[in-house]
Chain A
Amino acid sequence: MAHILDERKGQVSVAGANVATIDCNKASLAGSVSQRACVFCGSRVVLYPIVDALHLIHGPIGCAAYTWDIRGSLSSGPELHRLSYCTDLQEKDVIFGGVKKLYEAITELIELHKPKAAFIYTTCIVGVIGDDVEQVCRTIEDEAKIPIIPVQAPGFQGSKKDGYKVACEAIFRLVGTKSKPETPAKSINILGDFNLAGELWILLDYYKRMGVHVNATITGDGRVDDIANAHNAALNVVQCSGSMNYLAKMMKDTYNIPSMRVSYFGIEDMSDALYDVARFFKDDEMMDKARELVKEEFAKLMPQLTWYKERLTGKKAAIYVGGAFKAISLVKALRLIGVETVIVGSQTGTEEDYDLIKKLCNEGTIILDDSNPVELSHFVKEKKADIFIGGVKERPIAHKIGLGFCDHNHERKEPLAGYEGMINFAKEIYATAMSPVWKFTK
């Protein structure tokens, strides 16, 4: 029996029998081997897809090295975001301060790349050694006439989720700084899609077919000028709510832009994401087009999904992902192809997310917040899961136990959003569940 640390017992729950609210939203326990990263990571992953901005990390080298080109966030234009810049602080900088180096680094990189804006991430020791990064940014902003935005992200100042908030604050500094005259009335901002494997482009096509204008995409394939004009949209459509709810809230408070929460994973949630937008604009023609689109996509999709469902029915899945809202969509998507979910966990879920998961899942499903290898490896064996859906750090847990694995993390190379994403998802689950190699692991 795996050891569940006393302090973590409230973060492990079961659907059905146990109705108590799960403990979540807390700092990871020291020594627990959490699968989470840190504040810096949260801010970095959210801002990363802004492709025409300079991203410079002020700190020692590690944080920059480990986040170089890590997201599969595609760009339709510049690829400045894929470069990893760092002040690479040395011992003497720690002693004497790193601001001069920072100033020089930012100015030389602006000369080199002429970015539309710069994000300056500060990591653990920068606050401790007392570098006034805000002042450096202001100085260069005056000289270079582009936004230079400090992203105060020392890893210890909370969890990955707190990093999302830091990123939202950084983005919010851009919002409202420019107005494009031509923003149409029925326009939306897409928040919380990061264009992994080109997923955003699938969504843009759907909204275009419905006659919806997409104003800013935040941050997938993101552009500084579009974000600056984001305040002119009529609606914020928010996915991955953990990372972007805070931005939506600030935009509501300041610019009175309403927001709605959607998910693009699985066909039910995908269809709702389209219908809800049409409903918001109270536009019958838009709604008709949405229905037409869904009908068309369903016609292509359903025969294929039925084929997979016939073959996958009875398989059991474990899910452990970053955000719980995504986990909810995954439970539904798996159901469509006959796969029952027996474990659901996330790094950053909220009480509401977990309550929803409890209602959605079958009795006995294990629900985990901020879990670790000891617990995950124990529960996948106990619940006899066949397939694990997670990220890089979960993969060896699945493979060493002989479970199939589906990568649903930010490095993925196949789009899993939208209707075509659903087919890719089914294909991947099928490929991992049905591989003949498992006969050697029994």
Chain B
Amino acid sequence: MTTTKNSIDKSSLVPLKGLGVAVQKNGYVSSRNSCKLCAPLGASLVFKGIEGCVPLIHGSQGCATYIRRYMISHYKEPVDIASSNFSEETTVFGGSRNFITGIHNVIKQYQPKVIGIASTCLSETIGEDVPGHIRNFSESYDNPAVPMPIFINASTPSYCGSHADGFHNTVLATVKTLAKSQTASHSITILPGLVTPADIRYLKEIMTDFGLKHTLFPDYSDTLDNVYTSEYQLIPTGGTTINQIELMGDAKATIEFGSIFNKGTQRIKDQGTVQTAGEWLEASFNTPNHQMPLPIGIDATDRLMNVLSEISGKPIPEKYVKERGRLVDAYVDAHKYVFGKKALLYGEEDFVTALADWLKEVGVEPFWIKGADFETLKEKANDFKPDFLLGNSKGYYIARERKIPLVRIGFPIHDRFGATRMHQVGYRGTQEIFDRVVNALIEYKQENSPIGYKYL
């Protein structure tokens, strides 16, 4: 089906040599080695953090498969994502039938408690009415063997924003679907954004140590970093429970990490009205919302600890006072190895801005470009001359070309093991990143030393 309304009017074009075009990003119209991924990936990640949930991507088969492959290579865990598998006919006549078949088959194979639906560029462009499909399905559901799952519908067209927007918008969609006000709860809600499974475990440990009842969402610390199970769990154990999300409406407070959230690139229809999940909870249930940057570095983590201390009415536990103390001690011991160095950063904006603030804290000069692709960063690196890169695997080629270290952090890490076990937030995460950066710089110096040495 190729209609041809959009053809170019040659008279409006400049000749090839002149190229007087509407340029963006370092003078290029094209994205050249993109830093961002598409929104349905972020949605799938959030759905993996809900207990009993199977994600279904409403679009072509490839969307689900590419995202599965991308996530499996990072998490090294099974990532089952269903697809409604659009055909040409679906695209012309609408996706209702495929949607219903798809949901039925997911229920037959997985018996999920929740099905998380992410839309795609295709289903959004043809104007699919997913809430309508869900209604139709629910009304005609008659399988007594399996209770009807709960549906969460996230609008995640890949022509709008990145995987980070998909992530935050899906957190919001889930909370909007499930959270309600019932009885006052003493729990607090923590919405950490895109962090590692190890970070999630650590954040829960911190909450517990403050004696705080808490709900962390999305919690993929088990589902995407599972133990050896000896069987293929169709839906891996773990995840934030439905009940926990429902109770968010009555929580004492919400803490959410980020600075840009889902507000970087907004749908035209939503311009200026986009809320984060924490903001929505505050507006709907008067739940006080504590927004703060991802806690990377001492200043940023102090801020989190102070808020937790205030909410819990308890002093910061000794364990974290010591973690902080050791971190300060490490800063002091190693400060000379990092001072004045220059770092090239890339990744999700919330993550990069937090890393940049941390680097300044230890005397490293951060460099990053909002919305840039890797080729742009590579070209700009010629002027900036970074000493190292800090980011995911995909910047490796730049580090290799410049013969400088890449300290791998964030998502995706496709060329190393252990990404799920890395801490990146709090004093503990900062300590790990700091040690890795310091050692990378020392190793670089050592490897490039004419004599080599074994003693600092």
A355 to B42, CA, bound (A): 42
A371 to B66, CA, bound (A): 16
A93 to chain B, nearest CB (A): 7
Could you mark each residue 108-137 of chain A with 1 if its beta carbon is under 8 Å from any beta carbon of chain B, else 0? 111100000000000111011111100110
B62 to chain A, nearest CB (A): 3
Could you mark each residue 46-81 of chain A with 1 if its beta carbon is under 8 Å from any beta carbon of chain B, else 0? 000000000010011111111111000000000000
B200 to chain A, nearest CB (A): 20
Q: Let me know if B30 and A62 touch, CB within 8 A.
A: no
A33 to chain B, nearest CB (A): 5
Set of chain B residues within 8 Å of A401, measured between Cβ atoms? 230-232
A144 in contact (CB, < 8 A): yes
A33 to B103, CA, bound (A): 11
The listed residue (A35, A125, A402) touching B122 by CB distance below 8 A is: A125
Q: Let me know if A132 and B159 touch, CB within 8 A.
A: no
A154 to B16, CA, bound (A): 28
A62 to B83, CA, bound (A): 16
B65 in contact (CB, < 8 A): yes
Most interface-central of A28, A60, A87, A127 (chain B CB within 10 A): A60
A126 to chain B, nearest CB (A): 9
Set of chain A residues within 8 Å of B451, measured between Cβ atoms? none
Which residue from chain B places its CB closest to the CB of A84 in the assembled complex? Answer: B33
A98 to B5, CA, bound (A): 11
B56 in contact (CB, < 8 A): yes
Set of chain A residues within 8 Å of B66, measured between Cβ atoms? 37, 41, 62-63, 66-67
Set of chain A residues within 8 Å of B56, measured between Cβ atoms? 31
B273 in contact (CB, < 8 A): no
The listed residue (B16, B41, B88) touching A62 by CB distance below 8 A is: B41
A99 to B82, CA, bound (A): 32
Q: Let me know if B33 and A144 touch, CB within 8 A.
A: no
Q: Let me know if B228 and A402 touch, CB within 8 A.
A: yes
Set of chain B residues within 8 Å of A300, measured between Cβ atoms? none
B360 in contact (CB, < 8 A): no
Set of chain B residues within 8 Å of A56, measured between Cβ atoms? 30
Interface residues of A in 159-207 (CB under 8 A from B): 159-160
A5 in contact (CB, < 8 A): yes
Q: Let me know if B230 and A402 touch, CB within 8 A.
A: yes
If A60-B158, A152-B2 touch, whether A38 touches B19 (CB-CB below 8 Å) is: no
Which residue from chain B places its CB closest to the CB of A159 in the assembled complex? Answer: B61
Interface residues of B in 395-436 (CB under 8 A from A): 397
Q: Let me know if B72 and A395 touch, CB within 8 A.
A: yes
B78 in contact (CB, < 8 A): yes
Q: Let me know if A111 and B19 touch, CB within 8 A.
A: yes
A250 in contact (CB, < 8 A): no
Set of chain A residues within 8 Å of B59, measured between Cβ atoms? 124, 155-156
B39 to chain A, nearest CB (A): 8
Q: By the criterion of a CB under 8 Å from any partner CB, how many residues of chain A are at the interface?
A: 95
A28 to B101, CA, bound (A): 12
A-B contact count (CB 8 A): 294
The listed residue (B12, B32, B65, B84) touching A393 by CB distance below 8 A is: B65
Q: Let me know if B159 and A93 touch, CB within 8 A.
A: yes
A381 in contact (CB, < 8 A): yes
A1 to chain B, nearest CB (A): 12
A149 to B2, CA, bound (A): 17
If A110-B16, A155-B86 touch, whether A34 touches B65 (CB-CB below 8 Å) is: yes
Set of chain B residues within 8 Å of A37, measured between Cβ atoms? 61-62, 65-66
Could you mark each residue 15-32 of chain B with 1 if its beta carbon is under 8 Å from any beta carbon of chain A, else 0? 110010111000011111
A301 in contact (CB, < 8 A): no
A97 to B7, CA, bound (A): 9
Most interface-central of B29, B30, B68, B84 (chain A CB within 10 A): B30
Interface residues of B in 256-313 (CB under 8 A from A): 265, 267-268
The listed residue (A68, A130, A156, A397) touching B232 by CB distance below 8 A is: A397
A144 to B15, CA, bound (A): 10
Q: Let me know if B228 and A33 touch, CB within 8 A.
A: no
A104 in contact (CB, < 8 A): yes
B108 in contact (CB, < 8 A): yes
Set of chain B residues within 8 Å of A136, measured between Cβ atoms? 7-8
B252 in contact (CB, < 8 A): no
The listed residue (B30, B76, B99, B122) touching A156 by CB distance below 8 A is: B122
10 residue pairs A–B, Cβ–Cβ below 8 Å? A3-B109, A30-B99, A33-B106, A64-B34, A69-B397, A84-B31, A88-B34, A155-B60, A155-B61, A381-B231
| B interface residue numbers (CB < 8 A to A) | 1-8, 10, 12-13, 15-16, 19, 21-23, 28-34, 36-38, 40-41, 56, 59-70, 72-73, 76-88, 90-91, 98-99, 101-106, 108-110, 120-122, 125-126, 157-160, 162, 226, 228-234, 265, 267-268, 375, 394, 397
17 extra interface residue pairs, beta carbon distance < 8 Å, beyond A38-B61, A67-B66, A90-B265: A2-B109, A31-B84, A31-B101, A33-B106, A37-B62, A38-B60, A40-B62, A60-B121, A62-B63, A85-B30, A92-B268, A107-B19, A130-B2, A158-B88, A372-B109, A396-B77, A399-B76
5 residue pairs, one from A and one from B, having the closest CB atoms: A38-B62, A62-B38, A31-B105, A155-B60, A97-B6
